[in-house]
Amino acid sequence: MATKNQNLSSYDKATIPNAKDFRFGIVVSEWNSNITDNLFKGAFDTLIEHGVQKDNILHWSVPGSYELIYGSKKMQYKVDCVIAIGSVIQGDTKHFDFVCEAVSQGIKDLNVLHDTPVIFCVLTDNTMQQAIDRSGGTHGNKGVEAAVAAIKMATLRKNS
């Protein structure tokens, strides 16, 4: 696992631009909500910590990770950057492979086709324990990392 020797919540706060002038969207999958709720909290709290006003954070829920693509597409027109939050955990069928591939390609397509960045915060884990570890557990919170990426990408968009 790529995060085995890292803490997803660790970063140099002094290097992050103030985000008070930006509007962010967070689209959250309801599937595996015990995981996605923690990822949302990590992202939300990090955005607030870096100056974003609560009223400038738009939060939508979608049924599952597959629906993150459509939710993110619709949200792109309302914000400076979108964070797509989901959790897909390996099961006994190929469903995991199809969902992971579709979501990663769909979010990539949104970034290629549109001007508003979409940050990929979808955990694709083999076990529930891995997801727990990456959503506030021993490896930190991927939501924090996604919010930092969102601030940097909103800044890049504004300055380019």
Tell me the residue ranges of DSSP E strands in the chain. Answer: 24-29, 57-62, 81-89, 118-125, 135-137, 140-141
Cα–Cα distance for residue pair 60/26, rounded to 1 Å: 6
Cα–Cα distance for residue pair 45/106, rounded to 1 Å: 26
CB distance 142 to 42 below 8 Å: yes
Indicate which residues carry an active-site annotation. 95
